[in-house]
Amino acid sequence: MLRTLTIIAALFFAVTLEAQTAKSGWHNLIEGKSLKGWKQLNGKAKYEVINSEIIGTTVSGEPNSFLATANDYGDFILELELLVDNSMNSGIQFRSLSTPEYNNGRVHGYQMEVDPSSRAWSGGIYDEARRGWLYQLDINPTAKTAFKKGEWNKYRIECIGNTLRTWINGIPTAHVIDDVTAKGFIALQVHAIGKDDVPGKKIHWRNIRIKTSNLTPSPYDAIAVVNLVQNILSPQEKSNGYTLLWDGKTTSGWRGAYRPAFPQKGWELKDGILSVVKSGGAESTNGGDVVTNNEFSAFELKFDFKLTEGANSGIKYFVTELEGNKGSAIGLEYQILDDEKHPDAKLGRDGNRTLASLYDLMTANKVPASVKKIGEWNQGIIRVYPDNKVEHWLNGYLVLQYERGSKQFLDLVTISKYKDWPNFGMAQKGRILLQDHGDAVSFKSIKIKNLN
């Protein structure tokens, strides 16, 4: 009798909890002991429901497997808990797709990472089978401590409009603004393993619930934002102190280097993109470099750029225009280059004229994932701290660090093409410059934040 009453009480509690959850707008995505409402895509990893948990198990020689919701979701808040084998990689797909015309039905779209490895990128946002990493945690190092190995972790995803945000155990991990996919399914990934790898590693998911109406975004925080929608500032970017350095519509705030006004030729402004018109000159006299009206000392500059085949350009900073040079204005340069096709990549020393390098001084330490194909958009960051420490970033990866005025920096200047320029790179403040090197290169989403 006591056992019967206990069972009845437990069932009553479960029904009451379900009713309260539904009333609050939340809906559970696990129904009883079955996988009703889900479908398996791509690989043949094992999925089953045990004790109200979905358990995924690796199978040797299978590609990435996905247990996807039958329904698609656009705007939503998703919460779940997961426990994963410490040697296993996984992820949660959202706004994802599988269509015959795309890679024979391969699942593609946004993924919130599950990464127990020492890399610690859990909570980052990856674009599965499409663009790769959109937000990896090197740009938000505090979030690397959010995931707890060997424990249940609470994951949260907010998709509201173009804003994609993630949390682990209440700690904000990623914030992306993107408009590529507005709606798609949610899926639980069991990552591929090789045919000779030992199978049987498991990941557990429980308390999977979703809310699709009356959505209230979480308060803004201070983590970095990756904004892939051109020439706009998201609310969090504004809150974090960024302003548009180029408005995406006019030439306001910019002029030609050594000139009172913006060049009348050589630059094209179209569809929110500012481009150098190809002229073939080594240091083009068609339009020439353009610089900001304002000067900056300590700052973070964000910019998107796109190269054409064989192109050369750069973004210079601490440009003073005091040197009286007849060619390009002088300044520290974030090199923009097609490393494969432009001969400058093989000049200088040890690759110090390659993409994202400090031109003719220091070589960028790039990994393959940090480099996009020619014709694709890249995101660069130049960060200058008040103590003169400087960083170059490329597509979310820190590729170069140095300190203005340090012995290392000064020694490099003495063996560079800038050795005869007094106090090269040491101005207290200067302008930002976009270089016209005679090749077709495009810019957009140029933003700046003062770090003083």
Residue 31, pLDDT score? 84
Query: Average pLDDT of 352-361?
Result: 98
Residue 429 near residue 318, CB atoms below 8 Å: yes
Res. 3: pLDDT tops 90: no
Domain ranges, ordered by start, for the chain: 29-211, 241-450
User: 185-190 and 65-69: which strand pairing?
Assistant: antiparallel
CA 307, CA 311: separation in Å to the nearest integer?
A: 6
Residue 23, pLDDT score? 62
Per-residue confidence band for 22, with pLDDT thresholds at 50, 70 and 90? low
Residue 436, pLDDT score? 95
Residue 53 near residue 66, CB atoms below 8 Å: no
- Percentage of the chain lying above the pLDDT 70 cut: 94
Res. 282: pLDDT tops 80: no
Res. 286: pLDDT tops 60: yes
Query: Average pLDDT of 187-205?
Result: 94
Res. 166: pLDDT tops 50: yes
Instruction: For 148-238, list the strands marked E by DSSP.
Output: 153-160, 163-168, 171-177, 185-190, 202-211, 226-227
**What type of residue sits at position 195?**
K
Residue 28: CB partners within 8 Å, gap ≥ 6? 18, 21, 207, 208, 209
Residue 331, pLDDT score? 97
Mean pLDDT of the chain: 93
Side-chain-side CA neighbours of 202 within 13 Å: the count stands at 12
**What type of residue sits at position 285?**
T
The reply to whether domains 29-211 and 241-450 share a CATH topology is yes
Using CA atoms, how far residue 115 sits from 102, 131, 136, 351, in Å, is 26, 19, 11, 33
Q: Distance of alpha carbon 399 from its chain centroid, rounded? A: 15
pLDDT tens track for 144-153: 999 999 999 9
Residue 256 near residue 266, CB atoms below 8 Å: no
User: Can you tell me which residue has the tokens 């090199």?
Assistant: 335
Residue 360, pLDDT score? 98
Per-residue confidence band for 375, with pLDDT thresholds at 50, 70 and 90? very high
Query: Average pLDDT of 270-293?
Result: 87
User: Can you tell me which residue has the tokens 């979701």?
Assistant: 73
Q: Distance of alpha carbon 129 from its chain centroid, rounded? A: 15
Res. 158: pLDDT tops 50: yes
Side-chain-side CA neighbours of 171 within 13 Å: the count stands at 17
Residue 311, pLDDT score? 96
Res. 188: pLDDT tops 80: yes
User: Can you tell me which residue has the tokens 């929110």?
Assistant: 272
- Bridge partners of residue 274, in order along the sequence: 269, 443
Can you spell out the DSSP letters for 343-398?
Answer: GGGGSSSTTTTSTTSBTTTB-----GGG-PPTTS-EEEEEEE-TTSEEEEEETTEE
Handedness of CA 134, 139, 143, 145 (dihedral sign): positive
CATH of region 29-211: 2.60.120.560
Per-residue confidence band for 4, with pLDDT thresholds at 50, 70 and 90? very low
- Percentage of the chain lying above the pLDDT 90 cut: 89
Residue 5, pLDDT score? 41
Query: Average pLDDT of 43-62?
Result: 96
Residue 149 near residue 83, CB atoms below 8 Å: no
Q: What is the DSSP letter of 184?
A: B
- Bridge partners of residue 378, in order along the sequence: 305
CA 223, CA 141: separation in Å to the nearest integer?
A: 10
SS3 219: coil
Residue 384 near residue 371, CB atoms below 8 Å: no
Residue 290, pLDDT score? 97
Using CA atoms, how far residue 329 sits from 7, 233, 430, in Å, is 80, 29, 11
Q: Between these two residues, 325 and 206, which has the higher pLDDT value?
A: 206
Q: For 241-450, which CATH class?
A: mainly beta
Per-residue confidence band for 423, with pLDDT thresholds at 50, 70 and 90? very high
Residue 375: CB partners within 8 Å, gap ≥ 6? 306, 307, 308, 309
Residue 216 near residue 79, CB atoms below 8 Å: no
Query: Average pLDDT of 411-415?
Result: 98
